Chains A and B, each alone.
Chain A
Amino acid sequence: MIRVDLPRFDRFEAWRAAARHLASAEIAPEQILWATEATPPDLFGAAPWPEPGARAVQATPAFLTLARTVSSHSDPEAWGLLYLALMRGQSERGLWANPGDPLMIRLQALAKAVRRDIHKMHAFLRFHELASEGPRRAFAAWFEPAHPILQAATPFFSARFTDMDWLIATPEGVARFDGVLRFEGPSPAPDLPPDASHALWQVYFANIFNPARVKIAAMRSEMPLKYWKNLPETALIPEMLADAPRRLQAMAEAGASTPPAFAAKVTARLRSLEAQDLPASMAEARAQAQSCSRCTLCQHATQTVWGEGDPDAALMVLGEAPGDREDLEGRPFVGPAGQLLRQVMAEVGLDPARLWMTNAVKHFKFTPRGKRRMHQSPNGSEIQHCRWWLDLERRFVAPRLSLALGASAAFGLTGNHAPLAGRRGKIETAEDGGPVLITWHPSFILRLPPAEAQRARAEFAQDLALAQQMLADREARHSTQIS
């Protein structure tokens, strides 16, 4: 047997150096005794170490990470298993990446136990404040991990608590931090003074517990009993559990109580702000529309997207309904289709600030698809329900011309839902009597294949230019009549 003595700290580095040396000489796993301070001396004396061999020993970073974790396990066989995996990996390509190999499954299980123990140390260790002589505050803790994890677990604390001195004592040894982290051999459990914050913590623990939802098994699986004796709060658990039924009973018996006198006044003041009359202005209509629930679209859309622009505009531009972006921002025509519309408007010289831009339906309609929302066209009934708001908008704006983008907008204004192809570029009459110029919806253009999109875009631009022309003609007629 070749005996390898592993030190109390920096064990993994020692194992790694020895394993590389022995594996290069192709020493078989069963010829090595991996010893720690607890291992008794070998009865027959250890065999001498061989010279390093010629074989280059290789390992992947993933295997080294696994081995480092496993090296904190308390099972003395872990070292031999790691060496076996190292040896086998030299000839078996893919062993370390094969989660189905029984040796790898065993090592993964050991690593998992270590990771869990480290996690529990990060979770359940409690510092007590000590009297401090220097300018830094001082703290100490006693913790009993299931595995020798002190060295693996403490860098977490030295990155977190840098402005105080602390020590963590465990049966395996002591970690001390005063700006630098050091490790020492074991010493008896320190005498930890009472700490007022621990008493406050108990108050918190007792009161954050909801007696109506006792789930003891869930608590114990996550906070195993072995950690309880060093936690300040766990002593309260038996009493909290014993008292839970009484508290429930008391709640049930008390039932509803009479509200305090001031409550009605506060409530009345808050609710009086919401009384609604028929809106007398655009601003009032907009405010009321925010809480519209005339159809079911409001249930999932973010908010009502009201029209925007010049409330005295001569031209009203009407789209179908807000899209994803409009819904989030609460403004019409800010998504991709809106950008195309604004581009073409700029080309023909229509200023968005001098128009009233809005939609036939004020809420976004969609179906969720994973992390995205797929737009859906509103149906006839939704358009009808939203007419209430569109009619108000039209009454306040009183446009001389309306531009309907797409079939839904055309239907909302004219009540005619015939296909758009034959109607585009022509003037129809709105149900309230005004002229309506029908054109494509920009999102339709965006969905077309490139060649067709180009043609549709040109038609769209032509229609916008026509609208611009009609307004200019009216303006000219209007001014000649006046002069």
Chain B
Amino acid sequence: MAQKSLQHKLAILSDAAKYDASCASSGTSRRDARSGGIGSAGGSGICHAYTPDGRCISLLKILMTNFCIYDCAYCVNRVSSNVERARFSPDEVVTLTLEFYRRNMIEGLFLSSGIIRSPDQTMSDMVRIARSLRLDHGFKGYIHLKTIPDSAPELVAEAGLHADRLSVNIELPQDKSLRQLAPEKRPETIRATMANVRLSREATQERSFTGKRPPRFAPAGQSTQMIIGADATSDREILRSSANLYSGYDLKRVYYSAFSPIPDASAALPLIKPPLIREHRLYQADWLMRFYGFDADEIGAARPDGNLDLELDPKLAWALANRAQFPVDVARASQEQLLRVPGFGTKTVGRILAARRHATLRFGDLLRMGAIMSKARAFVTLPDWHPGALTDSAGLRARFAPPPKQLSLFG
């Protein structure tokens, strides 16, 4: 077989990585190259480019190889796919990362891989790349390693020393779907790997009896991804799964990836248009759970089938279904109540709480402070504004939802 060029391998192995939603580079420990090496990290991440699919490029997101012995129906790299295969050498990954980094194109590396030969073999190659970047080149940028479930705990332990973030994909929101569509993957070992990462992270937060802190372990935490729309799970079940994952493994993020058609698709899954709006609503709902004090069942209860309203954002849908709790008095309401007003974000609520100590807030003040009053006005009272019957009016939903599509008689 002729040797593939670096360009050709990069094309294959970045194409193979494009289904992974995560590309974040934020929230790790602060460091820079003033004492040697190259690179810096910490604080908020930087998106260096955006592709026309609206997603950002922060990290060089590639697969080490797309050879894989597993046969996951939703994955373009499954063993039964006829996609062209390639494999980077560890040096090639290191060089690409450093050269792109020097030109200010990326914040670091997000390395994932198909499973070659065995989980341990694959994981140890990935760890070797991270080790080389950190120790041979003094790389201070961001490294995200996609942990291979079923690989040895020692390998995960070493990965955590070099990587900022570790992740392992839960893949599908329910175990039975995973057993069906990814017969070689096991939900219990995926979760055990997450538990292991959590315990390792906790262990590094305790000082030893000499007062010394152990080396940091995956300082940017861990994340996971699930594919949306490849099985029949409802949004409520998806959000429940997320809530369980957040509470169990101290995850930084659950990423939702709308199942999108893949070349050389498996007969087990239809080639559908990816449910992008549903994916967006799930991210909004996830946000409500993490920053607004909502729980999965509250959000999922807005519709009888347990799916999110595609026309309205989940907070507005929740407010419309729970109008008895409105309107709230902005001058007196608690932080928890304000956070539930549609059109008020966490920043706006912070500003309201700070500003109402100094002055009486009026409609115009809220507008200037960034509140989206077109949404909020039906749900709040102010000295110069009362929604009257608006809060309970039958037509309130129609004010927010896009107009119904009518069949034209004259096409």
**Which residues of A are at the interface with B, using a C-beta cutoff of 8 A?**
94, 97-102, 105, 119, 122-129, 137, 139, 141, 156-157, 159-164, 195, 197-201, 203-219, 222-223, 231, 233-234, 237, 240-241, 244, 248, 250-252, 254-260, 262-264, 266-267, 270-271, 290-291, 293, 298-304, 327-330, 366, 368-373
Chain B residues in 8 Å Cβ range of A137: 102
Stretch at the interface among B194-202, B208-216, B316-324: B194-202
> Taking the complex as formed, is B409 at the interface, i.e. its CB lies under 8 A from any CB of chain A?
no
Measured in the bound complex, the distance between the Cα atoms of B296 and A242 in whole Å is 40
Between-chain CB contacts (< 8 Å), 23 pairs: A98-B358, A100-B355, A100-B358, A102-B368, A124-B49, A127-B104, A129-B102, A162-B34, A197-B105, A204-B100, A205-B49, A205-B57, A207-B15, A219-B53, A231-B49, A241-B52, A250-B263, A251-B262, A263-B80, A290-B188, A303-B191, A328-B248, A371-B247
Q: Does B195 lie within 8 Å of A303, measured CB to CB?
A: yes
Q: Which residue of chain B has its CB nearest to the CB of A265?
A: B79
> Taking the complex as formed, is B390 at the interface, i.e. its CB lies under 8 A from any CB of chain A?
no
Known contacts A215-B53, A300-B244; A207 and B18 CB within 8 A of each other = yes
> Taking the complex as formed, is B328 at the interface, i.e. its CB lies under 8 A from any CB of chain A?
no
Measured in the bound complex, the distance between the Cα atoms of B47 and A233 in whole Å is 14
B175 contacts which of A125, A198, A298, A330 (Cβ < 8 Å)? Answer: A298
B6 contacts which of A200, A234, A252 (Cβ < 8 Å)? Answer: A200
Measured in the bound complex, the distance between the Cα atoms of B176 and A424 in whole Å is 41
Q: Which residue of chain B has its CB nearest to the CB of A270?
A: B184
Q: A204-B60, A260-B82 are known contacts; what are 11 more A-B pairs with Cβ within 8 Å? A: A99-B351, A100-B354, A127-B104, A203-B11, A207-B12, A208-B17, A209-B51, A233-B49, A250-B263, A291-B188, A368-B296
Q: Which residue of chain A has its CB nearest to the CB of B192?
A: A303
Known contacts A263-B80, A300-B244; A256 and B54 CB within 8 A of each other = no
Known contacts A204-B10, A259-B82, A267-B79; A328 and B195 CB within 8 A of each other = yes
Q: Does A213 lie within 8 Å of B103, measured CB to CB?
A: no
B50 contacts which of A218, A290, A303 (Cβ < 8 Å)? Answer: A218
Q: Which residue of chain A has its CB nearest to the CB of B194?
A: A302
Chain B residues in 8 Å Cβ range of A207: 10-12, 14-15, 18
Q: Which residue of chain A has its CB nearest to the CB of B58?
A: A123
Number of B residues whose C-beta is below 8 Å from A? Answer: 95
The contact string, 1 if C-beta is below 8 Å from chain A, for chain B 101-115, is 011110000000000
Measured in the bound complex, the distance between the Cα atoms of B54 and A219 in whole Å is 4
Nearest CB on A from B125, distance (A): 19
User: Which of A99, A122, A127, A301 lies at the interface centre, i.e. has the most chain B CB atoms within 10 A of its CB?
Assistant: A99
Chain B residues in 8 Å Cβ range of A252: 261, 271
Known contacts A203-B11, A212-B260, A299-B175; A164 and B104 CB within 8 A of each other = no
Nearest CB on B from A162, distance (A): 4
Chain B residues in 8 Å Cβ range of A203: 7, 10-11, 14
Q: Does B52 lie within 8 Å of A219, measured CB to CB?
A: yes
> Taking the complex as formed, is B29 at the interface, i.e. its CB lies under 8 A from any CB of chain A?
no
Known contacts A222-B56, A328-B199; A159 and B80 CB within 8 A of each other = no
Known contacts A207-B18, A303-B195; A216 and B60 CB within 8 A of each other = no
> Taking the complex as formed, is B300 at the interface, i.e. its CB lies under 8 A from any CB of chain A?
no
Q: Does B266 lie within 8 Å of A240, measured CB to CB?
A: no
Q: Which residue of chain A has its CB nearest to the CB of B45?
A: A123
Chain B residues in 8 Å Cβ range of A214: 52-54
Chain B residues in 8 Å Cβ range of A223: 49-50
Q: Which residue of chain B has its CB nearest to the CB of A92?
A: B358
Q: Does B103 lie within 8 Å of A100, measured CB to CB?
A: no
Measured in the bound complex, the distance between the Cα atoms of B244 and A260 in whole Å is 39
Measured in the bound complex, the distance between the Cα atoms of B53 and A222 in whole Å is 12
Measured in the bound complex, the distance between the Cα atoms of B101 and A204 in whole Å is 13
Q: Does B46 lie within 8 Å of A123, measured CB to CB?
A: yes
Q: Which residue of chain B has its CB nearest to the CB of A330?
A: B192
Chain A residues in 8 Å Cβ range of B52: 209, 214-216, 219, 237, 240-241, 244
Q: Does A217 lie within 8 Å of B103, measured CB to CB?
A: no
Q: Does B102 lie within 8 Å of A164, measured CB to CB?
A: yes
Q: Which residue of chain B has its CB nearest to the CB of A372?
A: B247
Chain B residues in 8 Å Cβ range of A290: 188
Nearest CB on B from A259, distance (A): 3
Q: Which residue of chain B has its CB nearest to the CB of A264?
A: B80
Measured in the bound complex, the distance between the Cα atoms of B10 and A201 in whole Å is 9
**Which residues of B are at the interface with A, using a C-beta cutoff of 8 A?**
6-7, 10-12, 14-15, 17-19, 32-34, 36-40, 46-57, 60-62, 69-71, 79-82, 96, 99-100, 102-105, 174-176, 179, 183-184, 186-189, 191-192, 194-195, 198-199, 241, 243-244, 246-248, 250, 258, 260-267, 271, 273-274, 276, 295-296, 351, 354-356, 358-359, 361, 365, 368-369
Q: Does A373 lie within 8 Å of B247, measured CB to CB?
A: yes
Chain A residues in 8 Å Cβ range of B15: 207-208
Q: Does B276 lie within 8 Å of A213, measured CB to CB?
A: yes
Known contacts A216-B52, A256-B267; A210 and B34 CB within 8 A of each other = no
Q: Does A197 lie within 8 Å of B266, measured CB to CB?
A: no
Q: Which residue of chain B has its CB nearest to the CB of A274?
A: B183
A208 contacts which of B18, B80, B102 (Cβ < 8 Å)? Answer: B18
Nearest CB on A from B117, distance (A): 11
B265 contacts which of A213, A256, A262 (Cβ < 8 Å)? Answer: A256
Chain B residues in 8 Å Cβ range of A257: 81-82, 264
Measured in the bound complex, the distance between the Cα atoms of B62 and A241 in whole Å is 22
B53 contacts which of A97, A210, A231 (Cβ < 8 Å)? Answer: A210
B248 contacts which of A98, A204, A260, A373 (Cβ < 8 Å)? Answer: A373
Q: Does B50 lie within 8 Å of A371, measured CB to CB?
A: no
Q: Does A302 lie within 8 Å of B79, measured CB to CB?
A: no
A195 contacts which of B103, B192, B258 (Cβ < 8 Å)? Answer: B103
Chain B residues in 8 Å Cβ range of A162: 33-34, 36-38
Q: Does B54 lie within 8 Å of A212, measured CB to CB?
A: no
Q: Which residue of chain A has its CB nearest to the CB of B250?
A: A371
Nearest CB on A from B361, distance (A): 6
Q: Does A160 lie within 8 Å of B49, measured CB to CB?
A: no
Q: Does A208 lie within 8 Å of B51, measured CB to CB?
A: yes
Chain B residues in 8 Å Cβ range of A233: 49
B266 contacts which of A122, A125, A211, A256 (Cβ < 8 Å)? Answer: A256
Q: Does A266 lie within 8 Å of B103, measured CB to CB?
A: no
Q: Does A270 lie within 8 Å of B70, measured CB to CB?
A: yes
Q: Which residue of chain B has its CB nearest to the CB of A299?
A: B175
Q: Which residue of chain B has its CB nearest to the CB of A143?
A: B104
Known contacts A126-B105, A200-B96, A219-B51; A213 and B274 CB within 8 A of each other = yes
Known contacts A98-B359, A267-B71; A218 and B261 CB within 8 A of each other = no
Measured in the bound complex, the distance between the Cα atoms of B191 and A369 in whole Å is 19
Q: Which residue of chain A has its CB nearest to the CB of B60?
A: A204
Nearest CB on B from A389, distance (A): 14
Measured in the bound complex, the distance between the Cα atoms of B187 and A478 in whole Å is 47
